[in-house]
Structure 1
Amino acid sequence: MAGRALPAGSAIRDRVVDALFFLLAVGVTALTWVDSAELDVAQGPLVVDLVLGGLSCLGVWLRRRWPVGFAVIAGLVSVYSTSAAGVALIALFTVAAHRSFAVVGAIVAGYVLVPFLTLVVRPDLPSAPWEQIVLGVACVAAVLAWGMLVRTRRQSTRERTRRIESEQELRIAQARQSERNQIAREMHDALAHRLSLLSLHAGALELRPDAVPEDVARAAGVIRDSAYQALEDLREVIGMLRADRAGADDRSDAAPERPQPTLADLPDLITQSQRAGMRVRLDSQVDEPAAAPTAVGRSAYRIVQEGLTNARKHAPDAEVAVSVRGTAGAGLTIEIRNPCPVGAVVATGVPGGGNGLIGLSERAGLAGGRLEHGPTPEGDFRLWAWLPWPR
């Protein structure tokens, strides 16, 4: 206990308990001296007995700092001073409450010898009746049981506190991991879209070196804009990861994050793809896109973005139909269709391992929705998702 900072409430409670124990020790010492005064005991040993008992009462204030030393000294003093018996019981309780059973057993073994040693050093005292001996043994047993009960409860409280702290740390770690997974999904969805535009137009310039200057300038502009946006997305993601690693306290000094895409940004996404040379039709039947919840709008945007990226990779010349409809209470439905390529798939130079659709399924599931994808009997590839839109 030495050197360990305690809460204010615990410190006050400990001081109150020590004061009560001190008053109890003084009371027992006074009662023992009164009983001894009525016996035929020499005045000199009686005074020494009382002085030793009074001094041992002062040790109650040191019992928490040195419980074992206090118990040993109290036991030695009680060999001569019968008025220190109360202090010895308090010392025994302190050891039982703060030390292991092995230490308590050694102290109890020493205390068992105290009555026999008292008969040797204090022949002036009369032999105690058997009723008093039984009462003393019962008191020792009760004090031991009380102290060990207190120790068990303290250990249980500490273990419960450690378990709560461990569970809290686990929840924090899980939250951080969930945040990293979300960042990874955002990185894949955003960068895959930007880089696929880069690859598409760079490939077009490579295949058509004799293109007219206007087409070259348009493609170069798309490449420049896509590269810039990709760098911005990458800078944002790296900033989020650094802030997560540095801790929540350091995030106040970080640069503000860019606004996340919402349902109202879908037309701009379609326009970017059209400028890149894709044939995309948007059928939006959402009266107020800005009224959609932020999480729903962001998930819808990422689903459409990934659907366009997949269409660009696997069917670069096909027309893509994007349909978005929904209202509050009924949910938001997203459907992306494009004809499946016939024969060999045209190589676009854009790598892909199917992780995008897996990430979209996880994103839809986390939002409380569902996602389906695959070929249709009509020969189209269909990406369909439903997201909840609460009222």
Structure 2
Amino acid sequence: MSGRDRLVDLLTVTGAAALSVTVSYAHANDLTVFPRFPSATSFVEEFARLVSLPVSFYSGAASDLLVAAAAGVLLWRRRRWPVPVAVILVLLSVVWPLIPAALVALCTVAATRPVRTVGAVTALALLPCVLYLAVYAPGSRTLSTVVTGAVLVGGAVGYGLFLRGLRERAEQARTEAALRAEHARQREREAIAHEMHDTLAHRLSLLSVHAGALQVNPGAPTEQVQQAAGVIRDSAHQALEELQQLLGVLRAPPAGASRSSAPQPVLADLTRLVEESRTAGTAIDLVFDCAPADTAAAPPAMGRTAYRIVQEALTNARKHAPGQPVRLVVRGAPGSGLTIEVTNPVTPGSTSPVPGSGLGLVGLTERAALAGGELRHEQRPDGSATTHRLLARLPWPAA
């Protein structure tokens, strides 16, 4: 229990005990909140009796003080045992004027216990009102007493239900905030996983292709070996740099810094990507039908998505159809969108030297959809061979 809860309990117990003593002495001295004095003289007499109430504390009602103290002790334990405390105080309030303490206990039950339990305890608290109405002769005073008791019980229960609603809404808000934070972390993890797949898989496939070529052709000319070794060295170096950049993204960035500080590829980088694949030994027929000015001013998000699509397509071609030519067609302009088509023959029975997750194309489809476009891929017969075709369309807003 927090310090604030202890302070609230202390004030509640003290206030309820003080009110219980006040009600007890008022009852002992036949004081009432109901107007029953017809004249000014009677009013003065009643006021004098009310003012003399503290003096009556010393006149023989110490038992009432003890009962009020016992009620305070019960109230102090109401958070742990709310229902037993409420039942005991309700029953004691029939004999002793402990209505304030009983109302506090009822409020606690309404705020912390199930609705069925709240209903049962409320019915028990209203039972003395019904018995009072049945025992005493009907009249305005009897009716006023019953109505006052019912209003007090209803008010205590209603306030407890109000506190319950506030607490439940606060808990729901905390739960929703935790879920939103978890979803945000999950999206970050998925984005990092896609980024690692898109970048590292491309570099590692280059390493695998050239290492495999050296393994199956150990007597290759010196120039070819040197070229393959250079590609392996460059690809390993670039893969290490990209891995370090991704690991930097996983660390907490400085205050006010962007989470993705590494340079991101754009549409103009497609030609460099194609040259890297050509250097690795993949024959690529490139048709790049975009104006240079439009390419330079292309939206970064669209360019990054296009780059990742082409990168994954070339990686798949090296992995699943090594040595086969690839045709890449990129067409687009602002206002008409960007179309990417990648086709390559599929070698029957080919196996990938680099194991894949099988989720690259799935991730690209999701990436294209998030960018407002679409991506489809299929294998179709082309004479005696089979051709794999990937077609992506991305929106390119007008300037």
TM-score (norm 2): 0.70
Residue type matched to 1:136 in 2? T
326 and 57 in structure 1: CA distance in 2 versus 1, 3 angstrom threshold:
farther
Q: CA deviation at 1:93?
A: 2.7
Specify the alignment match of 1:251 in structure 2. Answer: 253
CA contact (8 A) 1:367 1:387 kept: yes
Residue type matched to 2:375 in 1? L
* Residue 126 (structure 2) pairs with residue 92 (structure 1): no
SS at match of 1:325: strand
* Residue 273 (structure 2) pairs with residue 265 (structure 1): no
Specify the alignment match of 2:220 in structure 1. Answer: 211
* Residue 287 (structure 2) pairs with residue 283 (structure 1): yes
Instruction: Report 1:336-375 matches (<5 A).
Output: 336-338=342-344, 340-341=345-346, 344-345=348-349, 349-352=353-356, 354-375=358-379
Q: CA deviation at 1:208?
A: 2.5
* Residue 389 (structure 2) pairs with residue 382 (structure 1): yes
Residue type matched to 1:271 in 2? E
Residue type matched to 2:2 in 1? G
Specify the alignment match of 2:319 in structure 1. Answer: 313
* Residue 199 (structure 2) pairs with residue 190 (structure 1): yes
Instruction: Report 1:1-391 matches (<5 A).
Output: 3-5=2-4, 35=31, 47-48=56-57, 88-99=98-109, 100=113, 105=121, 131=139, 132-241=141-250, 243=251, 250-252=252-254, 257-284=261-288, 285-286=290-291, 287-338=293-344, 340-341=345-346, 344-345=348-349, 349-352=353-356, 354-376=358-380, 378=382, 380-391=387-398
Residue type matched to 2:326 in 1? V
Question: What CA deviation, in whole Å up to 9, does each residue of 1:299-320 have, x standing for no partner?
Answer: 1111100111111123322322
Q: CA deviation at 1:273?
A: 0.9
CA contact (8 A) 1:329 1:390 kept: yes
Question: What count of residue pairs does the alignment treat as equivalent?
Answer: 355
Specify the alignment match of 2:42 in structure 1. Answer: none
Structure 1 residue runs without a partner (length 5+): 117-127, 244-249
SS at match of 1:163: helix
SS at match of 2:253: helix
Structure 2 residue runs without a partner (length 5+): 33-44
331 and 29 in structure 1: CA distance in 2 versus 1, 3 angstrom threshold:
farther
Residue type matched to 2:285 in 1? R
CA contact (8 A) 1:29 1:54 kept: no
Moved more, 297-306 or 276-285: 276-285
Residue type matched to 1:386 in 2? R
34 and 44 in structure 1: CA distance in 2 versus 1, 3 angstrom threshold:
closer
SS at match of 1:322: strand
CA contact (8 A) 2:25 2:53 kept: no
Q: CA deviation at 1:289?
A: 2.5
Question: What CA deviation, in whole Å up to 9, does each residue of 1:80-102 have, x standing for no partner?
Answer: 7xxxx6xx443333222123557
Q: Distance in 2 between matches of 1:202 and 1:46?
A: 103
Q: Distance in 2 between matches of 1:106 and 1:256?
A: 59
CA contact (8 A) 1:95 1:104 kept: no
SS at match of 2:397: coil
Identity score, percent: 39
Question: What CA deviation, in whole Å up to 9, does each residue of 1:108-165 have, x standing for no partner?
Answer: 679959x99xxxxxxxxxxx97543432232221111111111112212222222222
CA contact (8 A) 1:97 1:148 kept: yes
Residue type matched to 1:298 in 2? R
Moved more, 306-315 or 209-218: 209-218
SS at match of 1:274: helix
Question: What CA deviation, in whole Å up to 9, does each residue of 1:157-192 have, x standing for no partner?
Answer: 222222222222222222222221222222222122
SS at match of 2:254: helix
CA contact (8 A) 1:63 1:94 kept: no
197 and 29 in structure 1: CA distance in 2 versus 1, 3 angstrom threshold:
same
CA contact (8 A) 2:86 2:106 kept: no
47 and 103 in structure 1: CA distance in 2 versus 1, 3 angstrom threshold:
farther
Residue type matched to 1:251 in 2? P
Residue type matched to 2:392 in 1? A
TM-score (norm 1): 0.71
Question: What CA deviation, in whole Å up to 9, does each residue of 1:31-75 have, x standing for no partner?
Answer: 996957559x9x99982489989999999x999967688998999
Q: CA deviation at 1:366?
A: 2.4
Q: Distance in 2 between matches of 1:313 and 1:251?
A: 36
